[in-house]
């Protein structure tokens, strides 16, 4: 224990100075902010109001003629926002398509979804439209937007390997997305944007008429299969997709390849799902 008699007060003062203490503490706390506000209020009340500046007198020659008042400007129009009317329009247009080629032309000309104006290309589909197997994801990414084809980036290469594991490739499968235009910055599509695009993918499935439908990931599974549960509970369980004409297609929800790239340990789950798909197609 340090002997108090050997303590040098100058060392303590030097410590306080180096630490930034420049005032002695008072017996009770003082609110310096309140003091500053009170002082400014007193100064404001004491100061007389500043007189308005008086313009110098002008001679008749110096006085400029009064300018006529500017006409009122029309209100600026806001950017267009998709609404329920566009969703109804999409449903009517989708019903008119009798072939996949007609549907592609209708979607290319459709201007009711704002995503079209920020995307580079319409990402309609890839693969063989006569194939027994159809896979549907959510929306294109950057690589897909550039090439105009679904699943061509890293997740697409993984999907190709998953198809190859069950003896298939893009010549024996048909691949599409719920949303055919890339959302800016790969953001999630809004519910209204999804609702506007829904009739197109539903008609696309109906016209392709696959023997088996695979929904890749949570968004496409919930939208197409009207599911309330998450993908981890839905995956691996057969369900049915019903078209507008009443046809029923066996559907298998599974994990999205992009999710598997982030969680490689779950590839074994997707492998089981694809084995189920292979068995159903073989049977």
Whether the per-residue pLDDT at 21 is higher than 60: the answer is no
pLDDT digits (tens, 9 = 90+) for 4-20: 556 677 776 676 666 55
In this prediction, residue 128 has a pLDDT band, given cuts at 50, 70 and 90, of very high
- 15-29, 209-223, 268-282: least confidently modelled range: 15-29
Which pLDDT value is given to residue 76?
46
Mean pLDDT value of segment 257-263 = 97
For the chain, what percent of residues have pLDDT higher than 90? 69
**pLDDT in the model for residue 10:** 75
Indicate whether 253 belongs to any domain.
Answer: yes
Higher pLDDT, 279 or 83: 279
Cα separation, 208 vs 254, in Å, equals 20
Which residue segment(s) compose the domain that 164 sits in?
84-282
Return the HEC string of 73-109. Answer: CCCCCCCCCCCHHHHHHHHHHHHHCCCHHHHHHHHHH
Q: Is 117 contained in some domain?
A: yes
* 45-94 pLDDT per residue, tens: 655 555 555 555 555 445 445 555 655 554 444 444 557 899 999 999 99
Pairing of strands 126-127, 174-177: antiparallel
More confident residue, 135 or 53: 135
Q: Give the residue with greater pLDDT, 112 vs 17.
A: 112
Q: Is 139 exposed, middle or buried (0-12, 13-18, 19+ CB in 10 A)?
A: buried
Lowest mean pLDDT among 53-67, 94-108, 229-243, 267-281: 53-67
Q: CATH number of the domain at 182, please.
A: 3.40.470.10
pLDDT tens-place string over residues 242-252: 999 999 999 99
Which two structure tokens, joined as six digits, stand for 166? 């069950």
Residue 38 resides in a domain: no
Question: Which pLDDT value is given to residue 195?
Answer: 96
For residue 57, being part of any structural domain is answered with no
pLDDT tens digits along 196-221: 999 999 999 999 999 999 999 999 99
- Return d(Cα 257, Cα 216) in angstroms, integer: 8
Burial code (b: 16+ CB inside 10 Å, e: under 16) for 202-218 equals bbbbbbbebebbbbbbb
Number of domains in the chain: 1
In a domain, 29, yes or no: no
Q: Specify if 242 maps to a domain.
A: yes
pLDDT at 77: 40
Position 76 in a domain: no
CB atoms within 10 A of CB 233: 11
In a domain, 33, yes or no: no
């Amino acid at each position: 224990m340090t002997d108090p008699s050997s303590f040098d007060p100058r060392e303590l003062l030097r410590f306080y100075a180096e630490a930034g203490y420049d005032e002695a503490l008072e017996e009770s706390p003082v609110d310096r902010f309140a003091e500053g506000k009170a002082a400014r209020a007193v100064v404001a009340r004491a100061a007389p109001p500043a007189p308005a500046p008086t313009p110098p007198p002008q001679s008749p020659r110096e006085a400029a003629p009064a300018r006529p008042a500017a006409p009122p400007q029309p209100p600026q129009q806001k950017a267009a926002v998709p609404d329920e009317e566009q969703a109804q329009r999409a449903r009517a247009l989708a019903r008119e398509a009798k072939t996949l080629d007609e549907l592609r032309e209708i979607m290319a000309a459709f201007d009711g979804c704002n995503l079209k104006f920020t995307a580079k290309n319409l990402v309609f589909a890839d693969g063989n439209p006569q194939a027994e197997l159809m896979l549907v994801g959510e929306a294109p990414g950057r690589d897909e937007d550039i090439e105009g084809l679904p699943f061509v980036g890293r997740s697409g290469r993984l999907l190709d390997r998953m198809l190859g594991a069950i003896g298939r490739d893009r010549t024996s499968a048909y691949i599409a997305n719920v949303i055919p235009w890339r959302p800016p910055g790969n953001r999630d599509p809004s519910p209204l944007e999804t609702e506007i695009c829904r009739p197109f993918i539903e008609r696309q499935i109906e016209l392709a008429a696959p023997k088996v439908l695979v929904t890749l990931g949570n968004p496409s599974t919930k939208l197409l299969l009207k599911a309330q549960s998450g993908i981890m509970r839905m995956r691996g369980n057969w369900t049915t997709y019903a078209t507008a004409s009443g046809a029923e297609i066996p559907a298998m929800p599974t994990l999205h390849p992009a999710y598997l790239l982030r969680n490689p340990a779950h590839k074994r789950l997707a492998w089981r799902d694809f084995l189920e798909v292979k068995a159903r197609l073989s049977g």
